[in-house]
Amino acid sequence: MKILVTGGAGYIGSILVPELLGLGHDVRVFDNFLYTQASLNHCVSNQRFHVEKGDIRDVSKIKEHYEWADVIIPLAALVGAPLCNFNPVGSSTINKEAIYSMLKVISKGQLVIMPTTNSAYGNAGGKGFCDETSDLSPVSKYAKEKVQVEEELMGHPAAISLRLATVFGMSPRMRIDLLVNDFTHRACVDGFIVLFESHFKRNYVHVRDVANAFIFAIENSDKMQGEIYNLGLSDTNISKLELCNRIKKCLPEFTILESQVGRDPDQRDYVVSNKKIESLGYKTKHSLDQGIKELIKGYTMLKNRRYGNI
């Protein structure tokens, strides 16, 4: 198939694109390479790999790439509450308005598989498992706009929404700011962490399982399109403190301090059911503990010394 991946040189795309190429698909990446990343260098020798540098908000430039594709995977986004708060205009134009523009120009038969977020469930602690029919109460600007985009997306006849749990794991285009990645990095580098509202829970999923889910959705699109699916590890609805204790099993010297003063700026607190996508045969392959061990190995090689003097 001809597959367009916007933001394909990012954290998820850098894992997904080589997998799609390995399956024999023609893959076109449209990315602005904002972070000067070289995460797809190893793909350029593949004749089925195509790349275009550009901004997804430039409809005149990206329109021909939309028209080329059988499948569109729109990964290009400003991801996460802190970044969206820092750049609210970019958040709205990239995360929301550009997707609205895409939905206006593509044909009804083109399959769109889009990552949304289970942070849309907001602060639902104590209300039981959130499934795809649960009320949404997004807290952050990022989550609120993703909810708006998902509603618009589901008006497209051939659309699949994957509500991602908090993603973790190593990628050629690494993101240390994601919670598991961040906490493990703090354990490796600082040796301690201070937790605010440590009882808050959320769900997690490995970046390679996310890539596998996109492939699963392509291969099962006939029975999945028109639907929303939670995507996470069903055995990993855990609190921040529980997460830190899992990291401590691998790094016993890791010191965990719980603060009674202060407020977590990210007020997400929920547990999630992933039964809907699992009932179709999708299974995750990478556990949280495997991911933590992987990150520890990765951080042995990855040193963030940009602003350090040693």
Q: Would 247 be classed as within a structural domain?
A: no
Q: Would 63 be classed as within a structural domain?
A: yes
C-alpha–C-alpha distance, residues 297 and 157, integer Å: 43
* pTM for the full predicted model: 0.94
As for how many domains the chain has, the answer is 1
Would you give the distance in Å from CA 150 to the centre of its chain? 15
pLDDT surpasses 90 at 266: no
Nearest to 9 by CA among 20, 24, 84, 35: 35
Q: Would 199 be classed as within a structural domain?
A: no
C-alpha–C-alpha distance, residues 39 and 127, integer Å: 41
71-74 and 2-6: which strand pairing?
Answer: parallel
Instruction: Please state, in angstroms and as integers, the Cα–Cα distance from residue 119 to each residue in 80, 123, 137, following that order.
Output: 10, 9, 9
C-alpha–C-alpha distance, residues 136 and 6, integer Å: 27
Query: What CATH code is carried by the domain that includes residue 22?
Result: 3.40.50.720
Q: Cβ-count burial of 215 within 10 angstroms (0-12 exposed, 13-18 middle, 19+ buried)?
A: middle
**The domain containing residue 118 runs over which residues?**
2-168+204-233+271-285
Mean pLDDT of 271-297: 97
pLDDT in tens, 221-230: 999 999 999 9
Mean pLDDT of 165-170: 97
Structure tokens at 107: 């044909």
pLDDT surpasses 80 at 278: yes
217 SS3 class: helix
Q: What is the mean pLDDT of the chain?
A: 93
- The residue whose two tokens read 């449209």 is 30
Phi-psi region of 188 (alpha: psi -120 to 50; beta: other; left: phi over 0): alpha
